[in-house]
Amino acid sequence: MNWNLFWGLYLITFAIACWICFYAFGVRKLGKNKRCCAHTTGKVTGVSALSYGGMHLPLVEYTVNGRLYKVAGPKFRSYSKRIVSTPFKSIQTEYETNLMTRESLPLCLKVRIQRNSFISVQHSPLFELYPVGSFADVFYNPKKPKEAFIQRNEGISLWLFILLLSAAILLTALGIYILVGPRLVMS
């Protein structure tokens, strides 16, 4: 068996996955503020499947050129979540967050959840800011109206950008070196 071919292609496969993630979580978000320059008002219609810190995001519908679009948001760059779960707590889940107003949304969401460990009823503090039926600012790309964000763009995480780029470059270089480098012999 040609081990150079095996290990080289193995590393190249992971390098391709890193390049795809780098594009999806980094490059695609660069310049989103400039591309999404058109503004409209959308209506909060429900709950998105996307969640941050255990809180589901509002789902906002907006119309551009007679077509209906949906976007989940507002999104956050990162979040930290701490859960305190005891059997002695009431069934109503309590949240402590750094969410104050729509105008001062944090980029990094901090959530502390206190709940009953057997049964709990949850509500999202995001839905106190964005209740169903309320209106929200939507910024969208006029050339591609499906590309949009609610109120403000969360931007990219610098450490994730650097980590994915470094891993992609390293795996690509190592894969190519193994493919064309000295012959590997496995016993």
Question: Would you list the domain boundaries of the chain?
Answer: 1-16+156-181, 37-152
Longest dimension (CA), the chain: 67
pLDDT score of 70: 95
pLDDT score of 121: 67
pLDDT score of 154: 82
Q: Which of residues 74 and 157 earns the better pLDDT score?
A: 74
Distance CA 152, CA 90 (A): 35
> Which 8-state DSSP code applies to residue 66?
T
SS (H, E, C) 126-145: HHHHCCCCCEEEEEECCCCC
3-class SS of residue 182: coil
Beta bridge partners of 60: 44, 71
Q: Reduced to 3 DSSP states, what percent helix, strand and coil does the chain have, rounded to the nearest 5?
A: 30, 35, 35
Name the percent of the chain lying above pLDDT 90.
42
Distance CA 179, CA 173 (A): 10
Angle, CA of 155, 102 and 66, to the nearest 5°: 75
pTM strictly above 0.75 = no
Give residue-wise pLDDT tens across range 128-183. Answer: 889 999 999 999 999 999 999 998 888 788 888 899 999 999 999 999 999 998 88
Rg (Cα) of the chain, in Å, rounded?
22
For tokens 């780098």, the residue is 22
